[in-house]
Structure 1
């Protein structure tokens, strides 16, 4: 039995039986007297459990904390924070913490979760701590093409999102190279391809827009309450396109992947609403919706000669133009 399981069982036995002798605990836990003494000391000294030894009962019980009869006081319930997690669940939390840490290079989220991480190490105990630290070294997140977000900006956006306040920000629109002043009501944060975005109601444009947080040059919370937009509307307007681009007329793209690429692409999710099928020659046909072709074209180009756009003609033409422009760079090289 692990230490975490033993601590939980000691607490549960005392709660259910009101008082348990040292011999009774030994019989239930099947550990040495020295180990049981260490566990009782750990519960009292490290976790603050009000466990006391009652000489009259020759047993351990929770210390009386309220009024009423002596029996009622002795059975006062005590919850050990965090001990409703099993050891397996604690290790799962460590894995989740490591995954979150890999989302951002500046530790925007993980440093706020550090107290939880320390608590998990404490609950696992000295023996488990070494294992837990070793486990975290065996999980590596590689974030390619990451665009770092200023820590102060991220925290202010998160605060505004939770407190439902508007944000005044200076924002760089990269496609036009323009910097503008915006006031927005944040609706949700989106993490996509190692980059953070904010879906917000723009009070200048009077509509929902998606802002890249790394393009926010300055952000300040205002005293004005944010405009609340129903999440159904946010999802309907921002999630119907392909990738990070929202809005536009919805179309269906039909892509055909070669038999060589099919074993991999048949397991990939390009869009939550995609449909795929195997063809007689071993190729894989993928049909997916899109609204703005910008990101879809980039993802198609990454596949090189392993994919062919079958429809619509406008998407075929867009890919053809980009391929021709790329090939022109190598003419005579």
Structure 2
């Protein structure tokens, strides 16, 4: 486990522990590191603004402030199945792998009876199998999330490959396909790259500058930005 993953795991374990907290020794055993490493990791999280407090005494340890904890997830089985169906129907979509991990967290939060009912109900919903997912998808997703330039190996409609250094800006689903909207450095112009034609991708450390999406023209009539909680505004 690298340090970034360990810091995330440490914060999540303290979140699960709640006000009881965890001792350095217990955290060290769980993470398979030394107590000294745990203390350094906690200090790093504190410097990053994570509200972790140390408690004194023989049973002392570390506690994550209640303000940083999440409320329990109270989904009905039908709601959990709805999330699963949405993800299963978009298995070839950008960030699909992250979606599957998020679904596991949702299922973990359900009680045994609700989990069993969710699995029973989910077995009554069938979806068409997903389209093949590009091996380069994870790299492109990382570039989009981190706002980094990425080098694509791209095949056009005739199957002809080309290398493109691009600035990923957005993704869109239209006319039955996912597209990466990116500024092409070779063409010095905006381009739409069909997701399933991206054969390979290499992430670079170069940051993507701010660009106006208006350069890509009028949005397709069958595409619209995703909005978290957009249904509340309707």
TM-score range, shorter chain: 0.5 to 0.7
**Pair 1:148-2:148 in alignment:** no
The match for 1:48 is: 17
Give the Cα separation in 2 of the matches to 1:123 and 1:147.
30
Asked if structure 2 preserves the Cα contact closer than 8 Å seen for 1:148 and 1:195, the reply is no
Higher relative contact order (CA 8 A, sep 6+): 2
The structure with the largest alpha-carbon Rg is: 1
Among 127, 141, 166, which residue is 2:113 paired with? 127
Give the Cα separation in 1 of the matches to 2:221 and 2:113.
48
Cα–Cα, structure 1 residues 121 and 222, in superposed 2: closer, same or farther, change >3 Å? closer
How far 1:177 moved relative to its partner?
A: 4.5
Among 183, 187, 207, which residue is 2:189 paired with? 207
Cα–Cα, structure 1 residues 138 and 81, in superposed 2: closer, same or farther, change >3 Å? farther
Asked if structure 1 preserves the Cα contact closer than 8 Å seen for 2:74 and 2:110, the reply is no
Q: Provide the alpha-carbon RMSD of the alignment.
A: 3.6
Question: Equivalences for 1:31-70 in 2 at 5 Å?
Answer: 47-50=16-19
* Unaligned 5+ runs, structure 2: 1-14, 21-52, 57-63, 224-234
How far 1:101 moved relative to its partner?
A: 2.4
**Pair 1:173-2:173 in alignment:** no
Aligned length: 171
Return the TM-score normalized by structure 2. Answer: 0.59
The match for 2:208 is: 226
* Unaligned 5+ runs, structure 1: 1-45, 52-63, 68-75, 245-333
Give the Cα separation in 2 of the matches to 1:82 and 1:138.
31
SS in 1 for 2:133: coil
How far 1:111 moved relative to its partner?
A: 4.0
